[in-house]
Amino acid sequence: MDRAYEGDSTRAAARAAGLVPVVPPKANRWNPWEHDEELYKRRNEVERVFRRIKHYRKVFTRYDKLDVIYLAVVMLAFVAIHLK
């Protein structure tokens, strides 16, 4: 979730699903809320991990039919990234 989805309805849906939204409010918001800035910065780390594993075509295209096989391919991509 980022600032593009910072509306009240989206935040309420995230809370209803048991998630804690940490997205900061837009600069022009009338009643801004407090947010955890450090946790929001850590979001970038997760996005970079997804970007790294999508460099592997088999992960990106997901040709595998079984979830177990796909998970094994993702783990193999993590091993390859770690060994570099």
Regarding whether 83 and 42 lie in a shared domain, the answer is: yes
Number of domains in the chain: 2
**Using CA atoms, how far apart are residues 60 and 45, in angstroms rounded to an integer?**
19
**Using CA atoms, how far apart are residues 29 and 17, in angstroms rounded to an integer?**
24
pLDDT at 65: 84
Instruction: List the domain range (segments joined by +) for residue 60.
Output: 37-84
Q: What would the pLDDT profile of 24-65 be if each residue is shown by its tens digit?
A: 777 777 877 777 788 888 888 888 888 888 888 888 888 888
Regarding whether 30 and 8 lie in a shared domain, the answer is: yes
Regarding whether 72 and 53 lie in a shared domain, the answer is: yes
Regarding whether 42 and 58 lie in a shared domain, the answer is: yes
Regarding whether 52 and 42 lie in a shared domain, the answer is: yes
Regarding whether 75 and 42 lie in a shared domain, the answer is: yes
**What is the model's pTM?**
0.56
pLDDT of 79 higher than 90: yes
Regarding whether 70 and 43 lie in a shared domain, the answer is: yes
pLDDT at 75: 93
